[in-house]
Amino acid sequence: MQGFAEGRFDIAMTAIDNVIAYQEGQGEAKIPDNPDMFVFMGGDSGFLSLVGGKGVRNVAELKGKKLSVDAMTTGYAFVLRELLARSGIAESEVTFERAGGGLQRFQELLKGSHDGTMLIAPFDLLAINQGHARLARADEHLGAYQGVVGATRRSWARENEATLLGFIRAYHAGVQYVVDPKNREISEALLVALAGRTMTPQLARQAADTLLDPKSGFIRDAAVNMQGVATVLALRSKFSGKPLGNPAKYVDPSYRDKALAR
């Protein structure tokens, strides 16, 4: 994100909470104030699940246990904290431990180092295949949630409108391609080839079910889910202590609308 904020990348595909955090000066990396970022299109709803450690079968069993996070102030940690709160578990009743990104948290969960963590597909599927339980799916408990988005800097977008519109059209065509059932085998092959060493053909079949799901998979029209943005803002407001309430401050749908207008 630092490289993106400093202009070394034109576009970032990242969680919208990241964009909001950096715009509000709450990001993990040190970057200049007001990095001029905004969201121009939506990608997915996060594919987030709370997965239990060895022997943990439901959220209530997490009381008194150790949970891993990437950091306490990231969007996905906020989702975990909210899921606990909705299950009647106070933060004082669990221990949080920083354990790095999704791959590291997944590996530590399997080792038995932690009793629960938030995982993004396909790590949740990998853990479930090895006997762990999915304790909660974020989208089933929190309602609409905006996960990955396309983001860039407003100044770059103004100066490179045709390029940005081309990127949106290409990405949208990519979504249309992968969700087309006749391209399913190619989609699974792409996952096996490019989604890391853990992606076996069997896991790719399961991951594709999640990623391509008509309701909760990739956002078909590349639109930002503004209700989902409101959820992200509500969580960041609650856990950061800074009220954030205007989704339009972070999202400009005009480029996406123009790119896909027919």
Partner 1 sequence: MSRVLVALALAAMSAVASALPQVKPPQLTPISVIVFPGGWNLPIWAAERQGFFEQNGLRA
Contact residues for partner 1, defined by CB under 8 A? 3-4, 8-14, 43-44, 47, 102, 120-122, 147-148, 162-163, 166-167, 169-171, 173-175, 177-178, 183, 186-187, 190-191, 194-196, 199, 207, 211, 218
Sorted by sequence, the CB contacts under 8 Å of residue 16 that are 6+ apart come out as 39, 75, 146, 147, 148, 149, 151, 224, 228, 229, 232, 250
What is the smallest separation between the CB atom of 33 and partner 1, expressed in angstroms?
A: 21
Nearer to partner 1, 72 or 186 (CB): 186
Nearer to partner 1, 44 or 82 (CB): 44
What is the smallest separation between the CB atom of 120 and partner 1, expressed in angstroms?
A: 7
Q: What is the 3-state secondary structure (H, E, C) of 67-120?
A: EEECCCCCHHHHHHHHHHHHCCCCHHHCEEEECCCHHHHHHHHHHCCCCEEEEE
What is the smallest separation between the CB atom of 195 and partner 1, expressed in angstroms?
A: 4
Q: Does an H or E element contain 132, and which?
A: none
**Cβ pair 119, 9 in contact under 8 A:** no
Q: Does an H or E element contain 40, and which?
A: strand 37-42
Nearer to partner 1, 115 or 139 (CB): 139
**Cβ pair 136, 83 in contact under 8 A:** yes
What is the smallest separation between the CB atom of 254 and partner 1, expressed in angstroms?
A: 18
What is the smallest separation between the CB atom of 5 and partner 1, expressed in angstroms?
A: 11
Nearer to partner 1, 59 or 259 (CB): 259
Nearer to partner 1, 4 or 250 (CB): 4
Three-class SS state of 158: helix
List, in sequence order, every residue forming a beta bridge with 97; answer none if it has no partner: 68
What is the smallest separation between the CB atom of 144 and partner 1, expressed in angstroms?
A: 17
Nearer to partner 1, 66 or 195 (CB): 195
Alpha helix locations (H) across the chain?
A: 2-5, 16-23, 75-86, 102-111, 123-129, 138-142, 154-159, 161-179, 184-194, 201-211, 226-240, 254-260
